[in-house]
Amino acid sequence: MSVYRAYEVQGAGNFALVERELFEPAAGQVRLRVEACGVCHSDTLAVNGLLRPDPSVPIVPGHEIVGVVDAVGAGVTTWQVGDRVGVGYLNGHCGACEQCRRGDFVNCTDQPATGTTVDGGYAEVAFARASGLVRIPDGMSAVDAAPLLCAGLTVSKGLQQIDARPGALVAVQGIGGLGHLAIQYATRLGFRVAAIGRGTGKAELAAQLGAEHYIDSSVEHPGEALQRIGGAAAIVATAASGASMSPLVPGLEPRGRLIVLGASFDPIEVQTSDLIFGTRTISGSLTGSSIENEDNLLFSQRQGVRSMNEILPLSEAPKAYSRMLSGEARFRIVLDTAA
């Protein structure tokens, strides 16, 4: 075909279904026929023009892409037509900046952000640097793999920050798109898990996913509740609310760490004494490199970590985005482009 369909946004929140001319990938890039693309809360960065240099220039959102390579650019030697691959939020490190030279590929200073600064996967075709590609394991479907390329990797890398003994208590705050995966990863890594949510509506699900404790933050102080069960070696905060994270720090055991994954525009407020007395830490975690993404897919497949997905066709991309943003999705939404 000489054209492909894509949903692009222009300005803030204006979706439009368009046809684009097909072109060859640039040097160092590959072109994919998209099979599936996850709908992530971070897509708001593109839809609202928050990180685009010029929001008036149309862009295609979506950064949880699974597809098949159908063309390779000059200089690409490690991938070939027919390979099943994924692309996450990081579209491929440059390999030349100072951060790359030091092996910190996640913080490459010349790395496009898929679906945010370059076109993403709400489309039939996508492009990526070869350095950003992730091999999809045999036997893993596109719709199963897509959410793990961002949501799965994000919580997995966050949990890797934990320096704690096997069987230590780890709390997961928020039982949504990130949190339902974090509970699964934490239990597979050998931690005892306490889930923290508002209300009791997700208590049963948290237990099914592996949580041993459930804390309803609407009726009790989550930090105090955690201390009653011994204190947490780490708390993985996934809800996109700084205010909901603020009461968590007192729930950490000495040298415990609050790992912030949920992106929010309101601040986390903390008493300095809660950090000093107990030597506690607050840190953020973004994502991982392409090879770490590949490792996590294999781990997920072998350990049975599964995202709970709602599947919609590409033609319903604006509806999928709105449903994700409303918080009604249970728990990730994936656009099945192949359908």
pLDDT for the residue numbered 174: 97
Instruction: Report pTM.
Output: 0.96
Of residues 13 and 202, the one with the higher pLDDT is: 202
Beta carbons within 10 angstroms of residue 45's beta carbon: 20
Return the closest-CA partner of residue 126 out of 153, 108, 149, 97. Answer: 149
Cα distance between residue 102 and residue 326, in whole Å = 40
* CB contact at 8 A, 192 and 168: yes
In the predicted structure, residue 154 carries a pLDDT above the cut 90: yes
Judge contact between 62 and 114, C-beta under 8 A: yes
Residue type (1 letter), 145: A
Give which of 267, 260, 277, 64 is closest to 161, Cα–Cα. 260
* Overall average pLDDT of the 72-82 stretch: 98
Closest CA to 241 of 259, 265, 218, 258: 265
For the chain, what percent of residues have pLDDT higher than 70?
A: 100
pLDDT at 33 over 90: yes
Q: Has residue 119 got a pLDDT over 90? A: yes
Q: What pLDDT, in 10s, does the model give residues 52-73? A: 778 889 999 999 999 999 999 9
pLDDT score recorded for residue 265: 86
pLDDT interval class at 107 (50, 70, 90): very high
Q: At what angle do helices 151-159 and 179-188 cross, to 10 degrees?
A: 50
Lowest mean pLDDT among 8-12, 228-232, 266-270: 8-12
> Is the predicted pLDDT of residue 51 greater than 90, yes or no?
no
Tokens of 134: 């992730």
Is residue 1 over pLDDT 80?
Answer: no
- pLDDT tens string 291-338: 999 999 999 999 999 999 999 999 999 999 999 999 889 899 999 998
**Binning pLDDT at 50, 70 and 90, where does residue 74 land?**
very high
Is the per-residue pLDDT at 256 higher than 80? yes
Beta-carbon contacts of 163 under 8 Å, excluding residues fewer than 6 positions away, are: 255, 257
Reduced 3-state DSSP string for the chain: CCEEEEEEEECCCEEEEEEEECCCCCCCEEEEEEEEEEECHHHHHHHCCCCCCCCCCCECCCCEEEEEEEEECCCCCCCCCCCEEEECCECCCCCCCHHHHCCCHHHCCCCCEECCCECCCCECEEEEEHHHEEECCCCCCHHHHHHHHCHHHHHHHHHCCCCCCCCCEEEEECCCCCHHHHHHHHHHCCCEEEEEECCCCCHHHHHHHCCCEEEECCCCCHHHHHHHCCCEEEEEECCCCHHHHHHHHHHEEEEEEEEECCCCCCCCCCCHHHHHCCCCEEEECCCCCHHHHHHHHHHHHHHCCCCCEEEEEHHHHHHHHHHHHHCCCCCEEEEECCC
Please say whether the beta carbons of 198 and 216 come within 8 A: yes
Give the rounded percent of residues in the chain with a pLDDT score beyond 90: 92
- Structural domains of the chain, with CATH: 3-149+288-336 (3.90.180.10), 153-284 (3.40.50.720)
Query: What average pLDDT does the chain have?
Result: 96
With tokens 């001319």, the residue in question is: 21
Whether the per-residue pLDDT at 19 is higher than 80: the answer is yes
* Model confidence band, residue 339 (pLDDT cutoffs 50, 70, 90): confident
- In whole angstroms, what is the distance from residue 168 CA to residue 34 CA? 41
Six-digit token string for 317: 């991309």
The yes-or-no verdict on residue 259 having pLDDT over 80 is: yes
